[in-house]
Amino acid sequence: MNGPTRIALVSHARRGIDRITGTAQLLYPEGVLELSETADAVVTRLDGTRTINVLIDELAAEYEADREIIRPDVDALLADLDDRGLLKVSGETQ
Amino acid sequence: MTPRPYGLLAELTHRCPLHCPYCSNPLELARREEEMPVTVWSRVLREAAALGVLQVGFSGGEPLLYPGLSDLVRTAREEGLYSNLITSAVGLTPDRARDLAACGLDTIQISFQAEEAGLADDIAGARTHASKLAGARTATEAGLPLGINIVLHRRNIDQLADLIRFAESLGAVRLELANVQFYGWAFQNRSALLPTLAQVQTADAIALQEGHRLRGRMQIAYVLPDYYERRPKPCLHGWGMRALTVDPRGDVLPCQAARAIPELTFANVQSASLEDIWRDSEAFNRFRGTEWLPEPCATCEFREIDFGGCRCQAALLTGDAARTDPVCEFSPDRPLVDAILGMPDPDPAWVYRG
């Protein structure tokens, strides 16, 4: 998941809005993951057009934060999503 | 405060081409003329979404036999619900699969009974394996993410490693391997379905190892046979806490097996709103929370974890749905379960679902 790889959500995961709480949720088979505002900012960018570095650059600009402060949170979220089988690298079929 | 539900199981029909000896539908099935029209189901989906439901499973019986399925999938998508079709895939034509995908179906979950056609058809009580295989490929070609579920029991659990490779070969993103749970028809066939301890131990080790190997590629959800466990399963994460089932007639159940509890009556969506039923109906409130808990549960440190276990299992094994799940090592009724485990049937035969 590092280097120049472009990453995306798998086709069986998609973002939804919880009507009760108004928060963003990642929906997938038999699973729901509530997304914090920053997690949501990551998930909405997982469309296969960005590398992790580009994604972090964008978040750093949007939140006016240091890249090195953002990076551990992004890495942790992506590792969690990868464990759940919800990430693919660009070019994979799933 | 009343909790909000996350999941709706919509049992559109009880009709099914298979006759599995562990069928989870009730002993008395809804007839075709009792099935609800699309208009009522559409309202159920809208009310469910308003209540907080995020995921809907279209199930049965065989939901492909319900004529309005595509309309309901479209409504689910319009309401923001994540939809899963829980199907045998018998009768899934390319046109139907493309239509369901176009209507916004998120995933399809296809049941298999075994990898080898002879055994699979023998378990299903119908020659359906070839049709299911074709259906799985059809679904994938239509772009539908594929989940597979296989109910494990004495006759197929020894093939667990093969079953996992089979699911991989079909390109499944998720594989559910649930040991048979003893309700309804499976309760009647328990002595023929219950695996031995040696079978379970071997299967547990394989499931663990394969789960690691496939991590991040194919999610494996392995459900132990609870008679062999020391603690009960946290039934639905609490009765009336997260999930609801609507059956083909419109009866709303806290759990799809809840008809195992004869004292409960179920409200119907054709005469009340889903919200009223969820919040106020007797069936949903009977075992909600922890106040109703008997001893030893009421003072147990695990009461917020397993909520006393499964109500249906307590009813089936002890005759009293309000007792501790007899699977629990702290239950005074645990000897009932141990007695069942200690009496393996040397020549098991089962009765097919009629």
Q: Closest by alpha carbon to B93, among B141, B150, B149, B146?
A: B141
Q: How confident is the model at residue B235 (pLDDT cuts 50, 70, 90)?
A: confident
pLDDT at site B267: 98
Residues of B in contact with A94 (CB under 8 A): 145, 171, 173
Residues of B in contact with A20 (CB under 8 A): 4, 52
* Distance separating alpha carbons of residues B56 and B48, to the nearest angstrom: 9
A21, exposed or middle or buried, with CB in 10 Å at 0-12, 13-18, 19+? exposed
* Distance separating alpha carbons of residues A57 and B275, to the nearest angstrom: 45
pLDDT at B69 over 90: yes
Q: Any idea which residue has 């900012």 for tokens?
A: A41
State both tokens at B119: 């055994």
Q: Rounded to 10 degrees, what is the CA torsion of B8, B12, B18, B24?
A: 40
From the list B54, B106, B171, which residue is nearest A32 (CB)?
B54
Across B243-271, average pLDDT? 96
Q: Do B174 and A27 touch (CB under 8 A)?
A: no
pLDDT at site B346: 67
Contact B56, B12 (CB under 8 A): no
What single-letter DSSP state applies at residue B214? T
Chain A residue with the nearest C-alpha to that of B78: A16
Across B243-250, average pLDDT? 97
pLDDT at B347 over 70: no
Contacting B with CB below 8 Å, chain A residues are: 10-12, 14, 16-20, 25, 27-30, 32, 82-85, 87, 94
Contact B234, B281 (CB under 8 A): no
pLDDT at B354 over 90: no
pLDDT at A2 over 80: no
Q: Closest by alpha carbon to A15, among A29, A31, A23, A26?
A: A26
pLDDT at A4 over 80: no
* Distance separating alpha carbons of residues B218 and B174, to the nearest angstrom: 5
State both tokens at B67: 């004529």
pLDDT at A3 over 60: no
From the list A18, A29, A83, which residue is nearest B174 (CB)?
A29
* Distance separating alpha carbons of residues B43 and B275, to the nearest angstrom: 12
Q: Do A32 and B55 touch (CB under 8 A)?
A: yes
* Distance separating alpha carbons of residues B234 and B36, to the nearest angstrom: 31
Distance from CA of B187 to the nearest CA of A (A): 26
ipTM for the predicted complex comes to 0.89
Under 8 Å CB-to-CB from B264, ≥6 apart: which residues? B258, B282, B283, B286, B321
pLDDT at A89 over 90: no
Distance from CA of A19 to the nearest CA of B (A): 6
Rg of chain B taking only CA atoms, in angstroms: 20
Q: Any idea which residue has 């499944």 for tokens?
A: B172
Interface of B with A in 67-126 (CB under 8 A): 80, 82, 84, 106-107, 109
Q: Do B84 and A32 touch (CB under 8 A)?
A: no
User: Best mutation site among B58, B82, B169, B218 for testing chain A: the one with the most A CBs within 10 Å?
Assistant: B82
Backbone dihedral angles phi then psi of residue A41, each to the nearest 5 degrees: -65, -30
Lowest mean pLDDT, pick from B104-118, B222-236, B287-301:
B222-236
Query: Where does residue B222 fall: left (phi above 0), alpha (psi -120 to 50 degrees), or beta otherwise?
Result: beta
* Distance separating alpha carbons of residues B29 and B321, to the nearest angstrom: 22
Neighbouring CB atoms inside 10 A of B230's CB total 10
pLDDT at B208 over 70: yes
Q: How confident is the model at residue B216 (pLDDT cuts 50, 70, 90)?
A: confident
Contact B20, B48 (CB under 8 A): no
B100, exposed or middle or buried, with CB in 10 Å at 0-12, 13-18, 19+? buried
Q: Closest by alpha carbon to B84, among B2, B5, B9, B176?
A: B9
Cβ contacts from A onto B, under 8 A? 62
Query: pLDDT tens for residues B272-292?
Result: 999 999 999 999 999 999 999
Chain A residue with the nearest C-alpha to that of B47: A19
The residues that bridge with B222 in the sheet, in sequence order, are B177
* Distance separating alpha carbons of residues B328 and B65, to the nearest angstrom: 39
pLDDT at site B308: 95
Residues of A in contact with B145 (CB under 8 A): 10-12, 29, 94
**pTM: predicted TM-score of the whole model, two decimal places:** 0.95
Query: pLDDT tens for residues A13-66?
Result: 999 999 999 999 999 998 999 999 999 999 999 999 999 999 999 999 999 999
The residues that bridge with B184 in the sheet, in sequence order, are none
Query: pLDDT tens for residues B26-51?
Result: 888 999 999 999 999 999 999 999 99
pLDDT at site A93: 44
H helix intervals, chain B:
38-51, 69-78, 94-102, 117-124, 129-141, 160-169, 184-188, 190-193, 197-213, 274-280, 282-285, 303-306, 311-318, 334-341
Across B330-339, average pLDDT? 96
pLDDT at site B344: 67
DSSP string, B3-27: ----EEEEE-----S---TT--S-S
Query: pLDDT tens for residues B129-174?
Result: 999 999 999 999 999 999 999 999 999 999 999 999 999 999 999 9
State both tokens at B331: 């239950």
pLDDT at B321 over 60: yes
Q: Rounded to 10 degrees, what is the CA torsion of B214, B135, B22, B332?
A: 30
Q: How confident is the model at residue B349 (pLDDT cuts 50, 70, 90)?
A: confident
Opening angle at CA A91, ends A85 and A94, nearest 5: 35
For residue A75, give the H/E element and its range: helix A67-83
Q: Do B52 and A28 touch (CB under 8 A)?
A: no
**Percent of chain B residues past pLDDT 90, beyond the cut:** 91
From the list A11, A14, A83, which residue is nearest B82 (CB)?
A14
Q: Do B173 and A25 touch (CB under 8 A)?
A: no
Query: pLDDT tens for residues A66-77?
Result: 999 999 999 999
Q: Closest by alpha carbon to B10, among B72, B80, B70?
A: B72
